[in-house]
A and B are shown apart, each in its own frame.
Chain A
Amino acid sequence: MFEFSAFSLYDAAFLAIGGVTILGALGVVLFRNIIYSALSLVFTMLGVAAIYFQLNAGFLGAIQILVYAGAISVLIIFAVMLLMNKEARRTNLPTTRTKAWFAGGTITVMMLASIIAAVGFSEWPKTALQGVDNSVGMLAELMLGDYVIAFEAAAILLLVAVIGAIILAKGVENK
């Protein structure tokens, strides 16, 4: 399954994008300055958007750039700037407890190894199917057709989350 017989431009693009994305993700968890972590998160989100574009999901890639690389990263950086009370170099330190660090590493390695083994032992379709050209129209039909209840529930969830975020961040006035 890992044979590299016909190495095309598509494959080279995947390797480059995947490499950048993984490096960005590593940066998020390994940088000791949380501002670098947040910028690294933006890189990762853009890499994931590029992967969506490569997978013929252009609409989703655009949403990814708008929502994640735009809105959510700004929200995170805003919170980081609000909540920094120490020197910036030491804002994103790893845990001091050796036990927690050891458990985290062990769980991560075991999970990754089991997923890689599962992927290696599975049968996969040999060729990619022809992608949908008009995925936006199909998404719209699905959203307002079979999945309209989920669509409405998502709308209500967003409304409740925004109101809840405002109330939580505003805090209770002590009288």
Chain B
Amino acid sequence: MIGLPHYILLSAVIFSIGVYGVLTRRNAIAVLMSVELMLNAVNINFVAANKFMNAAAAVGQLFSVFIIVVAAAEIAVGLALVISIYRQRKSVDLNDFNLLKW
């Protein structure tokens, strides 16, 4: 019988994979993709908790919609930043991104 804990475990696994990607990838776009993975894991949690704990109201789904909005804004600005830095450094390697370091 699949219940709420299984959905939370699935979401925890996806979130952990996202954290691993953020911490160990060198490509800036890969890091952005890993952040998207983490946001999706959070969304699964919200929707599952909405279904299993308070199915009469759709508040969890509403929060998921807002998270999707923020994720879309984040990926748009993030990719624009990466393109902007690429123009100066000719690289998307995070090791080359030390413009704010002195």
Docked Cα-Cα span, A79 to B87, in Å, equals: 13
Residue of A nearest to B56 (CB): A132
CB distance from B89 to the nearest CB of A (A): 11
Are A63 and B68 touching (Cβ within 8 A)? yes
Given A52-B47, A75-B76, A95-B25, also A157-B17 (CB < 8 A): no
Contacts of A120 in B (CB 8 A): 5
Q: Are A44 and B55 in contact (CB under 8 A)?
A: no
CA distance A105 to B16 in the complex (A): 10
Chain A: interface size category? 35 or more
A22 to B32 CA separation, bound complex (whole angstroms): 18
Task: Please indicate the chain B residues that have their CB under 8 angstroms from the CB of A72 in the complex.
Answer: 36, 71-72, 75
Knowing A63-B68, A135-B58, A142-B58 are in contact, say whether A28-B33 is a contact too (CB < 8 A). yes
Contacts of A142 in B (CB 8 A): 57-59, 62
Minimum CB–CB distance from B43 to chain A (whole Å) comes to: 7
A105 touches B24 (CB 8 A): yes
Q: Give the residue of B3, B23, B77 whose beta carbon is less than 8 angstroms from that of A104.
A: B23
Interchain CA distance A104-B31 in the complex, whole Å: 13
Give chain B nearest CB distance to A145 CB in angstroms. 10
Chain A to chain B contacts (Cβ below 8 Å), 27 pairs: A3-B1, A4-B1, A25-B14, A28-B30, A29-B21, A29-B25, A41-B33, A45-B40, A51-B10, A52-B47, A64-B68, A71-B72, A79-B29, A93-B27, A95-B24, A96-B26, A111-B19, A119-B12, A130-B55, A139-B58, A154-B69, A161-B72, A164-B80, A168-B80, A168-B83, A169-B79, A171-B84
